[in-house]
Amino acid sequence: MIRAHADVIGSLLRPQWLLKAQEESGAGAITPAEFKRIEDRAVDEAVALQEEAGLDVVTDGEMRRLSFQAQMTAAVDGFADCGLDAFLWGHWYGDASTGDWTKARPPSIGVAHTLRRKRHLCAEEFTYLRARTARTPKVSLTSPSLWANFWSPECSSAGYPTLDSFLADIVAILRDEVAELVRLGATYIQLDAPHYPLLVDPRTRTFYEQQGWNVLHWLERGIELDNAVIGEFPDITFGFHLCRGNQGSRWLAAGGYDPIAEPIFQRIRAQRLLLEYDDARAGSFEALRQVPDDKMVVLGLVTTKSPQLETPAELTQRVKDASRFLPLERLALSPQCGFASSIIGNRLSIEDQKRKLRLVVESAKEIWG
């Protein structure tokens, strides 16, 4: 198991020249080969930034993705309405400077017909990253039941009359992707599962219950599907990331882990739980009592939603507080989420991002040596 005490979630801020190139590529103004060179440069700079910060675990920054979820819709035929709004709908809460933000669920969102994979989801991402670093390359996939967002009885019945039948094919695609990543040499794979904390908040739980599963079923069947994707790979470390929404420095839900901690922490086969803990919305550390002895917890104490820099003393104290419920050696430190869960990105600069990554590394060295 990877035991790094400093970690990173996945996405990094996209540089403006990459965003411009994405627009030009969509308009046919540059060739695919030109766009690929620009994407490669963005990944190279993301790797360099993480290495310069001192991280032993690095990602490609999700530079090739529209959203952290979008590698699925880009690689698989059958989805309808897969523009950026398909990943951003909901009521997002901001602070005084960002304000709230509401996007309606696109009426045509869904699965138009039976899924058919055109290519692997992120094998290319991984092989490029692996060739660019001597550090541990981490690649992220999504928890399968997160894709309930893309099923509806109105739009999906032709291919999938039930949510269960749809998610069965999602699991098959993700299981195959894990097997391919392992074949290519991946040793650290993360599943992003922000929908589980959304079950805690009544404002966001309603949608998931309307999909046909009650909360208990979400926690039972959802984790069963996650474990089917993780499979049996004894030499691979799996991470499981839980947060409460992250777009444009806004969030979707509030509430501690306590109502979902026992089933998720104890039953998920992942060895590293990456938990958002940057403010009071995440509740107390008491939920960590439910973490079994074979797991580490990566505390997401450094916020990616604001340029305000935490202090090493603050982080040290919070880790100390968490160690009342879990031994210090089974704790680690990271940002609370990605810096740019979609191309929109949070409201801080690349320099702010670099300072926060460096703070994670320096604080981890101070705490764990």
Domain architecture of the chain: domains with CATH = 16-368 (3.20.20.210)
Whole-number Å distance between alpha carbons of 52 and 354: 9
215-232 pLDDT tens trace: 999 999 999 999 999 999
| pLDDT at residue 16 greater than cutoff 70 | yes
| pLDDT at residue 209 greater than cutoff 80 | yes
Report the chain's mean pLDDT, rounded to a whole number: 94
Q: What per-residue confidence (pLDDT) applies to 60? A: 98
- The DSSP call for residue 294 is T
Q: CA of 158: how far to CAs of 20, 117, 165, 169, 279, in Å? A: 37, 18, 12, 14, 43
Confidence of residue 109 (pLDDT cuts 50, 70, 90): confident
Q: What per-residue confidence (pLDDT) applies to 157? A: 80
Confidence of residue 289 (pLDDT cuts 50, 70, 90): very high
Whole-number Å distance between alpha carbons of 273 and 270: 7
**365 contacts 55 by C-beta, under 8 angstroms:** no
Q: What per-residue confidence (pLDDT) applies to 83? A: 79
**41 contacts 90 by C-beta, under 8 angstroms:** no
Q: What per-residue confidence (pLDDT) applies to 81? A: 67
User: Residue range 129-135: average pLDDT?
Assistant: 97
3-state secondary structure of 190: strand
User: Helices 215-230 & 202-210, crossing angle to 10 degrees?
Assistant: 80
| pLDDT at residue 108 greater than cutoff 80 | no
**11-20, 105-114, 125-134, 197-206: which has the minimum mean pLDDT?**
105-114
- Measured in residues, the chain has a length of 369
Q: What per-residue confidence (pLDDT) applies to 154? A: 80
Q: What per-residue confidence (pLDDT) applies to 213? A: 86
| pLDDT at residue 212 greater than cutoff 90 | no
Across-strand partners of 299?
A: 275, 333
More confident residue, 354 or 108: 354
User: Residue range 17-29: average pLDDT?
Assistant: 94
- Lookup result for tokens 């910060």: 53
3-state secondary structure of 298: strand
Q: Which amino acid is at 10?
A: G
User: Residue range 292-315: average pLDDT?
Assistant: 97
Whole-number Å distance between alpha carbons of 192 and 68: 8
Across-strand partners of 297?
A: 273, 331
Q: Provide φ and ψ at 301, rounded to 5°.
A: -95, -20
Q: What per-residue confidence (pLDDT) applies to 158? A: 82
| pLDDT at residue 173 greater than cutoff 90 | yes
Q: What per-residue confidence (pLDDT) applies to 159? A: 85
User: Residue range 171-194: average pLDDT?
Assistant: 97
Sign of the CA dihedral with 272 first, then 273, 277, and 278 last: positive
At residue 354's C-alpha, the angle toward residues 352 and 356, to 5°, is 70
User: Residue range 98-127: average pLDDT?
Assistant: 88
Whole-number Å distance between alpha carbons of 273 and 226: 13
Q: CA of 322: how far to CAs of 1, 133, 234, 298, 327, in Å? A: 21, 32, 28, 11, 8
User: Residue range 321-329: average pLDDT?
Assistant: 98
**82 contacts 89 by C-beta, under 8 angstroms:** no
| pLDDT at residue 310 greater than cutoff 70 | yes
R_g over Cα of the chain = 19
37-73 pLDDT tens trace: 999 999 999 999 999 999 999 999 999 999 999 999 9
Whole-number Å distance between alpha carbons of 274 and 243: 9
Confidence of residue 112 (pLDDT cuts 50, 70, 90): confident
Q: What per-residue confidence (pLDDT) applies to 269? A: 97
Q: What per-residue confidence (pLDDT) applies to 136? A: 98
3-state secondary structure of 82: coil
Alpha helices in the chain (DSSP H): 16-26, 32-53, 70-75, 85-88, 123-130, 153-156, 163-183, 195-198, 202-210, 215-230, 258-267, 312-322, 350-368
Across-strand partners of 76?
A: 117
- Lookup result for tokens 């709908």: 89
Whole-number Å distance between alpha carbons of 218 and 233: 25
